[in-house]
């Protein structure tokens, strides 16, 4: 889902960059309110894990592959505002040092995977999982949150490409919807398994008060 340089016109990537910059700045403020100094290093650990996990591709179909985005995992574990910082850090490093996603498209990629995906995951998860929910409910809620975050982010990506005139909407939306509906399954399974493991060995990592 990383958009390269040249795929977005100036008005689109500038607007996306402004929105992302403002949101990341506010996310930093909100994160300082929610997390203590002792908990901050855990954000770096999660960012490192997501960065490494994104390097592992899994086959989808027709010779294509997908990889973990990690936004749902970050949002469920630390809350959506902290997840914005985690995902933005990962995306910036990928862009600057690994040329994964274009520099002019960095704001758009943060908007997709660093802002849209975490908040969709957060809302869907809390729609399914209430305090005191059992493991099966948590597993199902995590899967739904991860799938929805992947799918909705792909639809926003298709919208940006369509607004830029890069892809016709009637072609871009169905194509992105089809492939990311499949990729979302992998995202959901991996996220649910990782979160199940975390809650078993380090339950305190899933902060019950991690809300908007």
pTM value?
0.90
Considering the chain, what is the average pLDDT of its residues?
A: 88
Q: Is the pLDDT of residue 96 over 50?
A: yes
Q: What is the pLDDT of residue 209?
A: 41
Taking residue 123's Cβ as centre, other Cβ atoms within 10 Å add up to 15
Q: What is the pLDDT of residue 204?
A: 59
Average pLDDT, integer, range 200-209: 59
DSSP characters for 3-37?
PPTTSS-HHHHHHHHHHHHHHHHHHHHHHHHHS-T
Of 126, 83, 91, 125, which Cα lies nearest the Cα of 17?
91
Q: The CATH number of the domain where 190 resides is what?
A: 1.10.1760.20
Give a yes or no: residue 43 inside a domain.
Answer: yes
Q: Percentage of residues in the chain with pLDDT exceeding 70?
A: 90
Long-range contacts of 40-45 (CB under 8 A, 24+ apart): 42/78, 42/205, 43/78, 43/82, 43/85, 43/86
Give a yes or no: residue 140 inside a domain.
Answer: yes
Q: What is the pLDDT of residue 54?
A: 81
Give a yes or no: residue 1 inside a domain.
Answer: no
Give a yes or no: residue 5 inside a domain.
Answer: no
Q: What is the pLDDT of residue 107?
A: 97
Taking the C-alpha atoms of residue 195 and residue 189, their distance in angstroms, rounded to an integer, is 10
DSSP state of 114: I
Q: What is the pLDDT of residues 141-187, one digit of tens each?
A: 999 999 999 999 999 999 999 999 999 999 999 999 998 999 999 99
Give a yes or no: residue 2 inside a domain.
Answer: no
Give a yes or no: residue 58 inside a domain.
Answer: yes
Give a yes or no: residue 212 inside a domain.
Answer: no
Q: Which tops the pLDDT comparison, 204 or 4?
A: 4
Q: What is the pLDDT of residues 43-76, one digit of tens each?
A: 899 999 999 888 776 665 555 556 789 999 999 9
Average pLDDT, integer, range 117-135: 88
Q: What is the pLDDT of residue 202?
A: 64
Q: What is the pLDDT of residue 86?
A: 96
Asked if residue 142 lies in contact with residue 131, where contact means CB atoms within 8 angstroms, the answer is no
Burial class (CB in 10 A: 0-12, 13-18, 19+), 206: middle
Average pLDDT, integer, range 99-127: 95
H or E element in which residue 66 lies: strand 65-67
Count of domains observed in the chain: 1
Residues 6+ apart with CB under 8 A from 152: 116, 117, 120
Give a yes or no: residue 124 inside a domain.
Answer: yes
pLDDT band for position 33 (cuts 50, 70, 90) = confident
Q: What is the pLDDT of residue 210?
A: 46
Domain range enclosing 157:
10-205
């Amino acid at each position: 889902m990383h958009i390269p340089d040249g795929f977005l016109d100036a008005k689109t990537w500038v607007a996306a960059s402004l929105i992302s910059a403002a949101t990341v700045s506010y996310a930093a403020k909100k994160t300082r309110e929610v997390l203590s100094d002792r908990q901050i290093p855990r954000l770096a650990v999660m960012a490192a894990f997501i960065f490494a996990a994104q390097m592992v591709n899994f086959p989808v179909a027709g010779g294509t592959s997908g990889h973990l985005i990690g936004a749902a995992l970050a949002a469920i574990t630390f809350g959506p505002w902290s997840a914005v910082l985690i995902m933005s850090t990962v995306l910036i490093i990928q862009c600057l040092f690994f040329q994964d996603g274009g520099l002019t498209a960095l704001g758009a990629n943060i908007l997709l995977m660093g802002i849209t995906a975490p908040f969709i995951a957060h809302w869907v998860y809390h729609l399914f999982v209430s305090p005191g929910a059992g493991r099966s409910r948590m597993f199902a809620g995590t899967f739904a949150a991860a799938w929805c975050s992947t799918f909705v982010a792909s639809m926003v990506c298709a919208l940006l490409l369509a607004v830029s005139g890069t892809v016709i909407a009637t072609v871009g939306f169905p194509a992105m919807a089809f492939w990311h509906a499949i990729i979302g399954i992998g995202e959901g399974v991996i996220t649910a398994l990782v979160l199940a493991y975390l809650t078993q060995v380090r339950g305190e990592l899933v902060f019950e008060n991690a809300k908007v």
